[in-house]
Amino acid sequence: MARIVFGMNVSLDGYVDHDRFEPGPELFRHWIEQVRGLTGSVYGRRVYELMRYWDEDQPDWSPDLHAFAAAWRNQPKWVASRSLTAVGPNATLVKDDIEGVVRKLKTDLEGEIDISGPALAQSLGKAGLIDEYRLYFRPVVLGSGKPFFAGPMPPLRLVAQELIGEDAMRLTYVPADD
């Protein structure tokens, strides 16, 4: 049975925004290994469209950027969207019943499946499908944006904390009833 995990970089004030801050070098290498180890990822439309950046190599990329792109391209992706009509390579469009699809993935697959997108994580969390939440706090205060938690959550229990690189703290939570 697969574990469903929601993890993203988060500002100190609780926002996620890929355009307003980036991971440091050690955290980025952590993300490369994290993505390499995934069984697959489930994306909301907005995050998936941002991640499509990794579909084509750029001439000015460093070796780490190439490594991340290769890891991202190799993993299966499921994209929850009612507005998209097509998705890129190694991706499956899910227009309806994302909860049912995630339940089936959880039952049929082994390993870890990443959830990307706060709104998607909110709906899957309400359905009891997320096994673990990983908040990668960075020393940035944004003051506004998309919150990591898109709405109220059931109680969570801290199970791990880890300093990653020079300035990132990963806090890992599970639903309190686990």
Structural contact between residues 135 and 171, judged by C-beta atoms closer than 8 angstroms = yes
Q: CA separation (Å) from 35 to 40, 128, 153, 154?
A: 8, 23, 26, 27
Q: pLDDT of the chain along its 178 residues, tens only?
A: 999 999 999 999 999 987 888 888 999 999 999 999 999 999 999 999 999 999 999 999 999 999 999 999 999 999 999 999 999 999 999 999 999 999 999 999 999 999 999 999 999 999 999 999 999 999 999 999 999 998 888 899 999 999 999 899 999 999 998 5
Domain range annotation of the chain: 3-175
pLDDT the model gives residue 178: 58
> What SS3 class is residue 94?
strand
Radius of gyration, alpha carbons of the chain: 16
CATH class of 3-175: alpha beta
Give the burial class of 75: count Cβ atoms within 10 A of its Cβ; 0-12 exposed, 13-18 middle, 19 or more buried.
middle
pLDDT the model gives residue 64: 97
pLDDT the model gives residue 100: 97
Greatest distance between any 2 Cα atoms in the chain: 48
pLDDT the model gives residue 68: 97
Q: Where are the beta strands (DSSP E) in 66-155?
A: 77-80, 91-94, 112-116, 132-138, 146-147
